Amino acid sequence: MASEASFYRILNEENQLKHRAKSKPARKVSKPKALAAIGPNQIYTWDITYLPTQVKGIFFYLYLVLDLYSRKIVGWQVHPVELSALAADLMIDICQREGIERHQVTLHSDNGSPMKGATMLATLQELGVVPSFSRPSVSNDNPYSESLFRTLKYRPDYPEKPFADISAARCWVKGFSQWYNHEHRHSNIKFVTPAQRHTGEDIEILAKRKQVYEKAKLANPTRWTGEIKNWNRIEEVHLNPEKGKSDIKENKAA
């Protein structure tokens, strides 16, 4: 019989309050390095999501790579398994199509086995792509990919029933990618399409929108209580910014 303090005192004297060898000590995991993109093909984020099949417990896997700056889907594949080698093949294809040079792109992902597999890491090293990883079990470190998957699965035409086969899944994702890149006016990039921002077409589009709003205000100033909507292009996009720093930085020039 003893008080709690006595138990702790005795345990401490017997060196029993320190880390025991059979269990792993608590590991401090640092937040991933803050990244910023000021143009397309500088930072990619990617992840894998499940697509349901008609067999319970069996899924297809959508590998999807997003350009952080433009929000364009630069590459995707649907496979029946999760493999590092398949992710590596996708990155080789993207780098060839986008004309990526060595040390041009940083690729951010979570800590899944396909992301950190030996084949994938070796391929990234060969391509000159710099890997970046989220903290374990912290989805907020990869928010852009998570947000894209939510957009994908909340589309009105997302199938209510599971995909019949892998061809059906690939066909649907192809249609979604086409819509997202070339038709979807993305609210976080001033309502232009990701493809327009990726190629720089948004510069002229936003300039024309600004002129339209300025003319409308001059024609009927009583309808405006302040400045027109800010159509200045977003020049910098941040991934995992430091505290107090905005996720996006807009050009403040007139």
Give the tens place of pLDDT for each residue, 12-28. 888 877 765 555 555 66
- CB 113 within 8 Å of CB 83: no
Pick the CATH number of 35-189 from 3.30.70.100, 3.30.420.10, 3.40.630.10, 2.60.120.10: 3.30.420.10
Sequence letter at residue 193: T
pLDDT in tens, 107-130: 999 888 999 999 999 999 999 999
Answer yes or no: are the C-beta atoms of 33 and 240 closer than 8 Å. yes
Mean pLDDT of 46-73: 96
Q: Check the CA dihedral 192-204-65-75 and report its sign.
A: positive
Q: What is the rounded CA–CA span in Å between residue 165 and residue 127?
A: 33
List helix spans (H) across 109-231.
Answer: 113-116, 118-127, 143-153, 166-182, 194-199, 202-219
